[in-house]
Amino acid sequence: MRTLSLPYPDDVLITSGKSPQALEAELIFLLAVKLFELRRLYLGKAADFCNINKLQFIATFP
């Protein structure tokens, strides 16, 4: 498996009001959502990508 390192400025962390771990988990989730929307990841792979189950992942969509 490959690893992506994504630098982000401190002000993104500050304005998010989240811990570094929570912000990074949210960024991973948002990437998985976008890849799912673009049909580059199937539901199961998108959920796996952010370490949650399919039901939790799909619950984010209206």
What are the tens digits of pLDDT across the range 16-56? Answer: 999 999 999 999 999 999 999 999 999 999 999 999 999 99
Taking the C-alpha atoms of residue 11 and residue 48, their distance in angstroms, rounded to an integer, is 29
Taking the C-alpha atoms of residue 17 and residue 5, their distance in angstroms, rounded to an integer, is 21
Tell me the pTM: 0.87
